Amino acid sequence: MGRSANDSGVAFDIDEETQLILRSLDEFVEQEVEPIAAELGETLTNPRLGHEPDGRLTDEVLGAIGRVRKRSAEAGYYAMNMPSDVGGEDVSAVTWYRANKRLATSAVPLSNEVLAGPAGPKPLLAAAEGDQIENYLEPAMRAEKTTAFAQTEPGVGSDSPNMDTNAEKDGDEWVLDGTKQWITNAPYADFVQVFARTTPQAEAGRHGGITCFIVEDDEFELGSLNNAVGSVGRQAEVRLDDVRVPADRVLGDVDAAFYDAMGFLGLGRLEIGAQAIGSAEWLLDRATEFATDREAFDRSIGDFQAISHKIARGRANVYAADAAGLRCAWTLDGGDPAIAESSILKWFATNTFWEVADDVVQVHGSSGLAEENPFMDRLHQARIFRVVEGTDEIQLNTIASQYGL
């Protein structure tokens, strides 16, 4: 499903197919996800209960996540944005955006596992050929295997072309050396998509000479867990010490993976933008309810401008961010890489989420800080969103360069 028939104008209405998907997702969360989350109860919401001493997610939590993903895959939601010829539903970027946003408005734990995130298949994996299809792509589509996207390094984040990880050809094998860091799902991945320099920049240019390799979980060493607040147990180091992989593990073309990686980040920015906006909407709804019910000085606290303006400002920014999200998704559906649009969305939506989350904690006062309430969890998530998939500063640099600076 691509752009609407009315390509000459702009439409913000939700088409019938997308409405059906959104309603079905609501039912799926209620019927499938909520019972699984209820079985674990506080284990999912209390970080002291759902993690091992080193931060790793417990087997109980991992099992619940896996069940949600597999049931979602069976229902056709998990990787529905992937091409139909690899088992996806080929839904548009606009529909994928709306679906991510919708799930972010849910208060049910594990709802964020319904759609494939960093652990699931992305368009880059659709380049799989030969045995890669049966061994990696198809199991990932069915949520039977999970993956990770290994690009960031200890000394190289946003400046990824200067990566130190390298691979050299040795007969029918490639030998990989280097360390990746902050790799989401690395502690649990069945295979990792590792980016390595295969030709020096002096020969291939800044953006050339980078290749993607499929490396299985028993072929690399898992380093320390990177336990970020709000995302404990999710990221880790991937250490590659003379790791040998056969030549048929190259994903895509040799020396041509940089732009594939950028495509991954563009989609990731759309997804994060959608999740940020959905989360901000959910928070504002809770703040509105609280401000209406809570009284102080014989008045609803929502009657005071100090409170009402926080919520009103949040509503205005979310409204604008959602328009930016739809514009970005619409641009992607037209075949444009949406470089400026995805950076604008990611920067504006995540900063809006951050400001809304902070204001909603403030509106709730002491109860906003309480562990049994979800507001600080959302605030932690908002802070993470401003760093992953490109920091605020990188987004602004990209926007400036796209507009001639």
Angstrom distance (rounded) from CA 329 to CA 352: 19
Angle (deg, nearest 10), helices 305-333 and 339-364: 160
Angstrom distance (rounded) from CA 153 to CA 170: 24
| Contacts of 178 by beta carbon, 8 Å cutoff, 6+ apart | 153, 163, 164, 165, 166, 196, 240
Closest CA to 385 of 149, 95, 143, 184: 184
The DSSP secondary-structure symbol of 155 reads T
List 281, 371, 389, 393, catalytic entry: 389
| Contacts of 248 by beta carbon, 8 Å cutoff, 6+ apart | 130, 131, 132
| Residues in the chain, overall count | 405
Whether 389 is catalytic: yes
Phi, psi (5° rounding) for residue 10? -120, 130
- Token readout for 342 is 């995805």
130 alpha-carbon distance from chain centroid: 28
Angstrom distance (rounded) from CA 393 to CA 232: 24
Closest CA to 222 of 261, 183, 176: 183
* Sequence letter at residue 175: V
The CA-atom distances, in angstroms, between 377 and each of 14, 249, 356, 381 are 30, 39, 13, 6
Q: What angle do CA 122, 88, 1 make, to 5 degrees?
A: 100
| Contacts of 229 by beta carbon, 8 Å cutoff, 6+ apart | 380, 383
- Token readout for 194 is 């590792």
The DSSP secondary-structure symbol of 58 reads P
Write out the catalytic residue numbers: 389
